[in-house]
A and B are shown apart, each in its own frame.
Chain A
Amino acid sequence: MTDPAYLRPRELDEALAARAAHPDWMVLAGGTDLMVNANHRAAPAGILDLWRLPATCFVRVADDAIAIGAGTTWHDVLRHPAIRERLAPLAAAAREIGALQIQARATLGGNVATSSPVGDSLPVLLALDAELEVASVRGHRRVPYHAWCTGYRTTQLAADELIVCAHVPVPGPTTRTAWRKVGTRRAQSISKVMAAAAITLDGDTVVSARVALGAVADRPIRASAVEAAVRGQRLGVAAEAARAAVRAAIQPIDDVRSTARYRRDVAENLVARFFSVS
């Protein structure tokens, strides 16, 4: 058995060419998912090492959106002043991904590509209505994150594509954001339930909301029934409407970590809390 090939591209074009030529190669950046129990897994045919590829490591701040490169680690995210100030839930999520050692390696691109039902940043990307930019030798395209997940750990990413960055709109001054992860313990934990929201208010009244839930389905979901139920409601009343809508909208499962009943109860609580009078 021969060792896998290994390539560390310096430019995006080089990476894309390799991706197109070798769709069976593992695209590896931080490795915090792909390297789990690596000593017991068959080596891939090749390794395309995108760790710190400059074309994917950036944070570009514009007035209305922040573009975050796919190779940006969660450590970079949670320390970036503009992200902390203007995309607070993303920084908050980053801080609760694993712990220090994981945050130093795990990347936004990795979280998005793996697309685990318990991916910690994914409900935030949904709630903030992010857009992904992906590239291949055929060119670049943009995919709204809400269309990205097509099934359990399945995404729109084509076999020859790489994720370049996420364009995350900055919520306006009348939009408040919220996020909470409930995991198995205080740190280094897998989510049992996650909720994220961007709520546009006129005074006390909900003009519109984007509400996303994680760990309650095979992918992160927008709770459109909740969003409809709270429109035009005042905070407080909206909380009760949201709670009822969440109950009807999700069918979480029992699994090794938790129960369907618990996930439903907590999802209701988290979402209702978002719409409470603070």
Chain B
Amino acid sequence: MERPGSLVGTSVPRVDGVAKVTGRALYLDDLDAPGAWFGQTVRSQVCHGVLEAVELDPAFDWSQVVVVTSADIWGKNLIALIEDDQPALAPIGGRVMHRDEAVALVAAPTRALAFAAARAVRPRIAERPAVLDVADALAVTQPLYGTTNVFKQLWIRKGHASDAELEAAFAGAAQVIEGCYSTSPQEQMYIEPQAMMAEWRDGRCHIVGSMQCPYYVHKAMKALLACEGDGVVIAQSVTGGGFGGKEEYPSMLAAHVALLAHKARRAVKIVYDRDEDIAATTKRHPCRTTHRLAVDARGELLAIDIDVVMDGGAYLTLSPVVLSRGVLHAAGPYRCPIVRVRGRVVATNYPPHGAFRGFGAPQTTFAYERQIQKLARLRGEDPLALRKRLALGVGDTTATGQRLDASVGSAEVLAAIEAVAGTPPVARGTSSRGAPVRRGRGVCFYFHGAGFTGSGEQRLAGRATVAAVDGRFEVRSSSSDMGQGSITIFTQLAAGALGVDPAHIVVVEPSTARVPDSGPTVASRTAMVVGGLVARAAAAVREQLEAWAAGHGLTGSLVELARAHAAVVRAELVETIGYEPPPGIEWDDATYTGSAYPVYGWGACLVDVEVDLDSYEVAITRCVQAIDVGKALNPVIVRGQIEGGTLQALGWAVLENVVYKDGKVWNASMTNCIVPTFADAPDLETILVEVPYPFGPSGAKGVGEIPMDGPAAAVANAVEDALGCAFDSLPISPEAIAAARGRWDPA
């Protein structure tokens, strides 16, 4: 598909780079909005209850304020996503399900007045007992969702017809390792807080804001505002980070500004304060995984039995899909004939959890890589050698019975780590501060299914368009660049397929008025799936132009031909390509068997740590990631993705946490909900491995999420190597290390 001179595979500087370094890129709060009012959200101070009324303080001057409650919603009071259980505003007379749930909205001409007005709104909520514990949820002390409080349950079964068969495999094993692993909630901490603006004009609602999925918002608004598809236009503004945190939540915010703008009869924008953003928006699902594995005398895996329980928070949102991905990755990238995985995601009265890079896989990867590490220790086997021995390769089948055939870089990533590992750090020493330290090394091996599960991509039926317009070429897709560089990647792919200089490519703003639905910007699918559509659409445009030119006896560069076409035909030349699945993707949603993902990315990670024995802090002194990306369409951009995801994982492992008190986020400020600084990060080493995927553009497959999945387990493995005892809960905080002193290897 690539023409000679294509820049696909080269580190072309970002198309939007100069705009970003000069401060000229316009994020939502930068947009000129003369006359726009500012909105604020009134939130529940109760975890669970019934909203009896929304009262207004009579002493406050309401003359310049608009107030919106559920009573103002003329369509359906819900945020349409997978199910219809989450309201846009807690219904008066109905249930409030979590702290900081939106109960009412205000808008006013100034931020200060809106802030003050929000404080003068008095929701009256009759409190009910809250469910703040997964065990209580499963025991149904309060029915929050259906009769079981289980949003979703999934099973994977491989190689056994009955539970008795599974138990027999365990009974006949030479060794059984069992462990319980828990991972913490995590805040995405995009540096641009959630932001959205709406205005009603020409009989339509125009919404613009920070988001990953314009068509998700579009679908949600049609239901809320009871309008047809052309009744609402959704556009993405330059987005300052998402990581999944702007996958589903923006629909809620869009609902709020749309309602306020309608009542106020003017544009209204809402930009969350950081504290509010941390308190009210989605987090990574906390997860508890029980993992049992059985090996024979040769150290081959005989059976794996896993139970995954995730806390979904108060509403279903995306929990079934997070659970799905977690469960599909739970058995890990290892050969095993018998696998049973049970997964449940459960309703509680915490603010709903949601999408965050990795989307369930980091949680279950942590569990399986800790187990594999324990297996290596038990057998006295080198951790990398054991993983190499057990790793899935071409021809092997996964836990769902998927036979791996193409683009399986498992051996390559392990070999890459082995090649650079070098001597492990000296086990004992003194830090630069004069404190004694213990050092350790940990490795891990993991995989990540790229794209939507099973037939998900077919159901999405994503489309992308390339159009020749007056001698330049427009790429039209709903994919949102949130920093991962999709604008640049699409530019390279389109330019490469057209055979033109990238300067002739324009990737248009993702507005539902201008672009087709390419599917959401999630699931590591943007380059691999949508990029593929873009490349094919571009190739189709070239073919059409060349055919037209030949028919008119014209020659010249493609740009010249495009200008000629525009001058003569006076119309755009538009090619839209829809998704077609690669052959052989058979997936049974009822039995959870078959090809779960079209292709997998593969990763191996090495981490060296130094534990300060005075402060119990873990310093990460070295981190190497080797990732099979199929094809690095832009090596610098791919490196940037890997390094960013890696540091998020390292932060999750030792530094980050979301702490709740009485169902409310207790550390809801950037001061207390910390992420790594420059000084916390080691120099990250990245090895790009390329085992091309035949159905990805130029061989590329998804890379956005995979770097997040592995490093936390590598850190835990390294700390175990340093201290001699297991750390099976995240975060591996200094407090946890100090409390485990009695279990360390003696000095």
Contact = CB atoms under 8 A, between A and B. Distances in A.
Contact of B735 (A185, A188, A262): A262
Contacts of B655: 184-185
A194 B31 CA distance: 45
A220 to B, nearest CB: 19
Contact of A40 (B115, B614, B734, B741): B115
30 contacts: A39-B111, A39-B112, A40-B115, A40-B273, A99-B677, A180-B614, A182-B617, A184-B655, A184-B674, A185-B677, A185-B679, A185-B680, A186-B679, A187-B679, A188-B679, A189-B674, A193-B615, A256-B659, A256-B667, A257-B667, A261-B735, A262-B616, A262-B739, A265-B616, A265-B741, A266-B614, A266-B615, A270-B615, A273-B435, A273-B614
Contacts of B739: 261-262
Contacts of A180: 433, 614-615
Given A187-B680, A262-B735, 8 more contacts: A39-B111, A185-B677, A256-B659, A256-B672, A258-B735, A259-B735, A269-B615, A270-B614
Interface string B720-742: 00000000000000110011010
Contacts of A273: 434-435, 614
Interface of B: 111-112, 115, 273, 433-435, 613-617, 655, 659, 661, 666-667, 671-672, 674, 676-680, 734-735, 738-739, 741
B666 A256 contact: yes
A124 to B, nearest CB: 16
Q: Which 5 A-B pairs have the closest CB atoms?
A: A186-B679, A187-B679, A269-B614, A262-B735, A182-B615
Contacts of A225: none
A2 interface: no
Contacts of A269: 435, 613-615
Interface string A235-278: 00000000000000000000011110110011001100100001
A193 B616 CA distance: 12
A107 B324 CA distance: 53
A259 B734 CA distance: 10
A104 B615 CA distance: 28
| Size category, A interface | 20 to 34
Given A256-B666, A258-B735, A266 B679 contact: no
Contacts of B678: 187
B616 A266 contact: yes
Contact of B738 (A39, A187, A261): A261
Of B115, B434, B613, chain A has the most CB atoms within 10 Å of the CB of B434
Interface of A: 39-40, 99, 180, 182, 184-190, 192-193, 256-259, 261-262, 265-266, 269-270, 273, 278
Contacts of B614: 180, 182, 266, 269-270, 273
Nearest to B735: A262
Contacts of B435: 269, 273
Given A258-B735, A261-B739, A186 B677 contact: yes
B356 to A, nearest CB: 20
B197 to A, nearest CB: 19
B678 to A, nearest CB: 7
B617 A190 contact: no
Nearest to A274: B434
B679 to A, nearest CB: 4
A261 B672 CA distance: 19
Of B112, B433, B672, B738, chain A has the most CB atoms within 10 Å of the CB of B738
Contacts of B433: 180
A278 B734 CA distance: 24
B631 to A, nearest CB: 36
A265 B738 CA distance: 8
A262 B112 CA distance: 41
A99 B677 CA distance: 10
Contact of B671 (A190, A266, A270): A190
Contact of B677 (A187, A262, A265): A187
Nearest to A273: B614
A188 B677 contact: yes
Contacts of A265: 616, 738, 741
Contacts of A186: 677, 679-680
A266 B615 CA distance: 6
A273 B433 CA distance: 10
Given A190-B671, A269-B615, A262 B738 contact: yes
Contacts of B273: 40
Of B433, B435, B615, B672, chain A has the most CB atoms within 10 Å of the CB of B615
B95 to A, nearest CB: 29
A257 B655 CA distance: 11
A271 to B, nearest CB: 10
A257 B672 contact: yes
Contacts of B738: 261-262, 265-266
B518 to A, nearest CB: 38
B676 A185 contact: yes
A149 to B, nearest CB: 22
